[in-house]
Chains A and B, each alone.
Chain A
């Protein structure tokens, strides 16, 4: 089955830019979705289809996807952005089996 690899942790100072990677074989040909999960809360969708933001998600959140790596970028990081972030794809159009990356803990210094 398809495997997504994320770094376990990323640290960034407030006001700086955080980049979280999600690696997968030819992931650029798939639509990638990103979720934020804070402790004790359900995940929320922050980016869908590589680059699109759901309503209510700040413009500071953006995404890109090319080749073997997708990236979630968070600009002007705030303390409230500290959370676990997960990338997700669907394994194949016919199977419609979901796959999550292992998650990245974003720490705001």
Chain B
């Protein structure tokens, strides 16, 4: 079965750092980009950026450039989304999703990040 499994929910204080993960299985991990999407409940989906595990090369939405870092380790079929200075406004559900040309066809279950003092 093709799946992406994300790390668990996090509660973090403002200013702290965080890395969440997304592990792929059931397919050739290096053949598909991994994308990260933010969802603030009650608001829409926002594409944050992506990584090509085969290169690796990351791309970022202008809205998130400089705020997050996206990386991957194909030896353990895992992609990462990282922050160095979290703010309350980063509170959201973060999804990883596989794909590019044919859409985002496989999604992780989501990781809830709560930033609160």
With A1-B62, A49-B102 as contacts: A42 and B107 at CB distance below 8 Å: yes
Interchain CA distance A90-B35 in the complex, whole Å: 12
Task: List the interface of chain A (C-beta within 8 A of B).
Answer: 1, 31, 33, 35, 37, 42-45, 47-49, 52, 54, 86, 88, 90, 95-103
What B residues does A47 contact at CB under 8 A? 103
Per DSSP, chain B at the interface is strand
Expressed in whole angstroms, the minimum distance between the Cβ of B92 and any Cβ of chain A is 14
Residues of A within 8 A of B82 (CB): none
Counting contact residues on chain B (CB < 8 A from A), the size range is 20 to 34
Residues of chain B with a CB closer than 8 A to A1's CB: 62
Q: List chain B positions with a Cβ less than 8 A from chain A.
A: 33, 35, 37, 39, 44-47, 50, 59-62, 95, 97, 100-105, 107-110
Say whether A103 contacts B109, CB under 8 Å.
Answer: no
- Chain B residues with CB below 8 A from A42, complex form: 95, 107-110
CA distance A44 to B12 in the complex (A): 28
